[in-house]
Structure 1
Amino acid sequence: MREINTLDMGHLEWLEARRTGIGGSDVGSILGFNKYKSPYQVWLDKTGQWKEEQTDNEPAYWGNVLEEVVAREFTERTGKKVRRMNKMYRHREHPFLQANIDRDVVGEPAILECKTANTFLADQWEGDSIPEQYIFQVQHYMNVLNRDYAYIAVLIGGQKFIWKRIERDQELIQLIQERLVEFWEVNVKQMIPPSIDGSDATTAFMKERYASSEVGKEILLGQAEDELIASLKEQKDIKKIIEINISQIENQLKDKLGQSHAEVAITPSNLITWKPVVSNRIDTKKLKAEQPTIYEKYRRTSTSRRFSIKEIK
């Protein structure tokens, strides 16, 4: 295992060092278990084609601030001493596999990962549950540092503290390592992009990255794109059929409630509700007609790109 001292590194220098390999926070994304970042985005970052803008991120900020609080509480509750290492570790055989652990556990072949979570995500931590991306992250760290087990501690909603032990899973580690090595050796080093998927993360990223265009510019695409369009049309036709089937089932259930003028129905396995929902919205047409000055003052203009396909006849 190789070590790089990060104590005197500035934040930007540390980020650049992270881009020279695959870190723990990248693993879930590469494996497709991060709804906020896709494999394609990681590939762009590692190949230097795109750098995520460092903007104010409240969750990330408070996660860093509270890391020490979580570590101290872990020691308080378990009696186990932990220490900050200020090092970037690299795998002995594959140095592009790297780890920045939160804490080392003194006197044990273990590490500690400190997390914070929104109250709405509390169910992901119930019982023995741990979010998949964190399982992959700590297994990756155990692989890089050759540790036997790990602890993960989380502060949920700022008021509930949980800690759990995660055993080393060599079979899972092998699967993770094989995928990460393939991603680095094939996708990154050979500049072969991973498939652009249909995840929310990729959709949002495309909208952000390609927000502007050259007015009136045209390009020529080939037969491959026509095949993609044909596949798209086929999938949309299937989607319409599914949506009709969904509406049919929902209407059948609504009819059952409607005949009895009921808002709630109970089956042996489900609770069905069909209740009025009141929402208040500004009538912009009326506001523009009756109070044009106020309308202009608070009107907000936004620009987006509309995607459409029309068959050439």
Structure 2
Amino acid sequence: MMRFVDKHIELDKLPKKFKKMTATRFASVLGLNTWKTPFATWCEMTRTYEEPFTDSIYTIAGKVIEPKIIDYLKERFFLDIETPEDVYGKDYFKKTYGDFYGDVKIFGGMWDAKSDDLIVEIKTTKRAEDWLKDIPIYYKLQAALYAYLSKIDDVIITCSFLKDGDYEDPAVFVPTIDNTIVVEWKMSEDFPDFEKRYIKPAMKFWKDHVETGISPDFDERKDADILKALRTNVVGVKDDEIEKLLAVIDADQSAYNKASSEIKVIEKRLKENKEKLKKNLQGKFGDNDDRVEIKSTAYIYTLSKNTKSSVDTEKLKQDELYEKYLVEKVEYRMSVKAVNENDSKD
């Protein structure tokens, strides 16, 4: 259970085990990831909410091209580096639970390749413009965290700039000096104050937000999808009355959805023509008439007039009375959509 308090969330019960601050989450908690907010990352680490992972053309391309880059580094730069499979075996993810730093409490994750004195981070992108001036900070911090945890000073980050065709068939991609950059740098030179500037603030985030279950402030726009999911109460069908209602509604809804296109055309035409008749009959009202009635060969159509009083809200605002008498009115609206076959069921 959780409570929304102002612009943050407070958990009533903490999970038995938090998810560690991996390199991909590291820059996010520091507010340095363009694509993910500190709140979204907090939701992941506290197991409050996380989007189910599904492979995309981008992740698939990355997986296919990564071993090509490692071979490229070995052959072109004569680097003596190892892959996770070289170190931990074929089932390295299962063996390590996706964490090569099991003895570290807060931080963790998996490097792409390394040697005793070198960390290698491999990236692919379609957005070459992001790399024009320097390595994007959220990528650089990923490699920096692994270098820090491994007590290694030398780092290499590679980035292959892909075209649409490379995503369609990444197996044919061949890394060259024209499509792949290799950037070498040192922790001692680029991040001489890494622990003070990055590690300690990240640890403070962990202590202040993860261990307490009190989230950082969320952003209604940037975190909209997560907030929508958290504010939705998914009810299990355990009430006999609801279960019976759903069965009947499902049948009727299915029957309605299967209605022929001809019927839907008729419904649309009927609605449009009724609106036309309504506008026509409005012009037939006399000064003392409350309703206008017209008969066809099959039906009687009656248009009633009802006069309602309304409040001049603009005038109230000018007199500074609008807010004083403003009250919230809760309304409920029900929508219906088909269940996706991939949706999980309780």
Which structure 1 segments of 5+ residues have no match?
A: 1-17, 215-291, 297-309
Give 2:118's match in structure 1, choosing from 110, 117, 126: 110
CA deviations on 1:222-271 (whole Å, 9 max, x unpaired) are: xxxxxxxxxxxxxxxxxxxxxxxxxxxxxxxxxxxxxxxxxxxxxxxxxx
Counterpart residue number, 2:105:
95
Distance 1:196 1:173 in 2: 26
Structure 2: which amino acid aligns with 1:192? Answer: I
Tell me how far 1:161 sits from its aligned partner: 0.8
- SS in structure 2 at match of 1:165: strand
Distance 1:198 1:175 in 2: 28
Pair 1:191 & 2:213 matched? yes
- Measured at CA, do residues 151 and 211 of structure 1 come closer, stay the same or move farther in structure 2, by a change above 3 Å? same
Structure 1: which amino acid aligns with 2:204? Answer: E
Aligned residue-pair number: 201
1:13-52 matches, cutoff 5 A: 20-52=19-51
Counterpart residue number, 1:130:
135
Distance 1:140 1:55 in 2: 25
Tell me how far 1:63 sits from its aligned partner: 1.3
Structure 2: which amino acid aligns with 1:101? Answer: W
Structure 2: which amino acid aligns with 1:68? Answer: P
- Measured at CA, do residues 184 and 77 of structure 1 come closer, stay the same or move farther in structure 2, by a change above 3 Å? same
Tell me how far 1:211 sits from its aligned partner: 6.3
- SS in structure 2 at match of 1:90: coil
1:1-313 matches, cutoff 5 A: 20-85=19-84, 86=92, 88-90=99-101, 95-105=105-115, 108-118=116-126, 121-126=127-132, 129-157=134-162, 158=166, 160-168=179-187, 169-197=191-219, 200=222, 202-207=223-228, 209-210=230-231, 293=265, 311=323, 312-313=325-326
Distance 2:21 2:211 in 1: 13
Structure 2: which amino acid aligns with 1:25? Answer: T
RMSD: 3.2
- SS in structure 2 at match of 1:163: strand
Structure 2: which amino acid aligns with 1:124? Answer: D
- Measured at CA, do residues 199 and 136 of structure 1 come closer, stay the same or move farther in structure 2, by a change above 3 Å? farther
- Contact 1:114 / 1:154 at 8 angstroms: preserved in 2? yes
Tell me how far 1:199 sits from its aligned partner: 6.2
Tell me how far 1:91 sits from its aligned partner: 8.1
CA deviations on 1:67-105 (whole Å, 9 max, x unpaired) are: 11122222222111221134533387x522113100013
Structure 2: which amino acid aligns with 1:90? Answer: Y
Tell me how far 1:209 sits from its aligned partner: 4.8
Max radius of gyration: which structure? Answer: 2
Tell me how far 1:205 sits from its aligned partner: 3.2
- Contact 2:74 / 2:81 at 8 angstroms: preserved in 1? yes
- Measured at CA, do residues 294 and 53 of structure 1 come closer, stay the same or move farther in structure 2, by a change above 3 Å? farther
- Contact 1:40 / 1:195 at 8 angstroms: preserved in 2? yes
Distance 1:295 1:146 in 2: 71
CA deviations on 1:158-207 (whole Å, 9 max, x unpaired) are: 4711110121023034311112111222211111211213663x234334
- Measured at CA, do residues 209 and 57 of structure 1 come closer, stay the same or move farther in structure 2, by a change above 3 Å? farther
- Contact 2:118 / 2:156 at 8 angstroms: preserved in 1? yes
- Measured at CA, do residues 295 and 152 of structure 1 come closer, stay the same or move farther in structure 2, by a change above 3 Å? farther
Tell me how far 1:131 sits from its aligned partner: 0.7
Tell me how far 1:115 sits from its aligned partner: 0.7
- Contact 2:121 / 2:157 at 8 angstroms: preserved in 1? yes
Which structure 2 segments of 5+ residues have no match?
A: 1-16, 85-91, 167-177, 236-263, 269-321, 327-346
- Contact 1:90 / 1:96 at 8 angstroms: preserved in 2? no
- Measured at CA, do residues 163 and 199 of structure 1 come closer, stay the same or move farther in structure 2, by a change above 3 Å? farther
- Contact 2:155 / 2:185 at 8 angstroms: preserved in 1? yes
- Contact 2:31 / 2:37 at 8 angstroms: preserved in 1? yes
Structure 1: which amino acid aligns with 2:214? Answer: I
Tell me how far 1:24 sits from its aligned partner: 0.4
